[in-house]
Amino acid sequence: MSSFRALRVPALVLLALGIVLGLVFAGPALAAGGKAMHDDNGNAGNPRILPPGSMPYGMSYGEWSVKWWQWAYGLPVTGHPLFDETGANCAAGQSGPVWFLGGVFNASGTAVRDLCTVPVGKALFFPIVNVEWDNFCPVLDPPLSIDELRLQAKLAMDSVRDLVCEVDGAPLMNLASYRFVGDPFGVNMPSDNIWQAFGCPYEPGYYEPLVPDGVFLMLAPLPAGQHTIYFRGTIDFFGTPFTPEITYNLTVSPHAAPGELSGDPADMSVSPAGAPPLTQPSTWGRVKATYR
């Protein structure tokens, strides 16, 4: 594995693990090799998690997974919440009824975030493990087709195992039921962007297509007070296992968070591949979780 790839491996997992699993469609998630498992309420046995076949806040899980990537990639590295191990920057780029959480970009893939404060009434959307595949970082020449990109993301996600997620000490069930493949999408990369941090010399601008795959959860709003969200999973990077592990010791506050943006992410349409570049800098980026 090259030194560049060695850097990207932990970065990728970090952010998912918050991140990783997957394959399928931007609709009800399917477990690898079979149907999703649901109870009578369709929530796969997790009453605090919105059902995988639902349309939380007007969008499917697959569409929210694209929003997550656009949030993660649309933010500069300076002050980025996924480079921050403390949680102090968790309000960066957040707006509307849903906030995003994720893994961490560091060598170990582990973080304990004690300083994250979330306003009451916010749902939390995060990957246990996820990846995206693109032709840009590193450059693939000749570039892969969308179907080929999807296959590479699938192969990476198919290696994921030992997924765990706990909310306030209660383990969640049937996590493979929350695996989704979103539609190909585009991102607006800012100055001081994640690709540059990975050694890819990409200037600010619009890039497409990117193809996502992962296991995501939409946690219903938590009551005011202290809460703990813990998740981990193992993914094989070219035969080398890597296990990111993330703990959020959250404070859910009745007050608005400093730095929260105005606007509602549910009102922002997903930019499919082939769509014209957005005219405004996007605060919806996605964290590069790709094993290259």
**Which residues are paired to 226 by β-bridges?**
251
Over residues 256-270, the mean pLDDT reads 50
- Give the model confidence (pLDDT) of 114-151 as tens digits: 999 999 999 999 999 999 999 999 899 999 999 999 99
- Which residue bears the tokens 């394959």? 23
What is the pLDDT at residue 259? Answer: 60
Reported as a pLDDT band with limits 50, 70 and 90, residue 242 is: confident
What residue ranges do the domains of the chain occupy? 3-267
Tokens of 46: 């997790």
Q: Taking residues 256-282, what's their average pLDDT?
A: 43
**C-alpha distances in angstroms, 201 versus 97, 102, 182, 188?**
35, 25, 26, 15
pLDDT tens-place string over residues 163-212: 999 999 999 999 999 999 999 999 999 999 999 998 998 999 999 999 99
Do 95 and 268 touch, CB atoms closer than 8 A? no
The DSSP secondary structure of 228-264, one letter per residue, reads: EEEEEEEEEETTEEE--EEEEEEEEESSPPTTPPSS-
Sign of dihedral through CA atoms 99, 236, 83, 4?
negative
pTM for this one?
A: 0.79
pLDDT of residue 291: 33
Tokens for 242, please give them: 């890597």
- How far is CA 197 from each of CA 110, 213, 216, 217, rounded to the nearest angstrom? 19, 22, 25, 27
Encode 20-52: b = buried (16+ Cβ within 10 Å), e = exposed.
bbbbbebebbbbeeeebebeeeebbebeebbbb
Residue 265's pLDDT is 44
Average pLDDT over residues 242-246: 92
Q: What is the pLDDT of residues 30-46, one digit of tens each?
A: 333 223 333 334 677 89
Grade residue 107 by pLDDT with cuts at 50, 70 and 90. Answer: confident
Q: Is 22 left (phi over 0), alpha (psi -120 to 50) or beta?
A: left
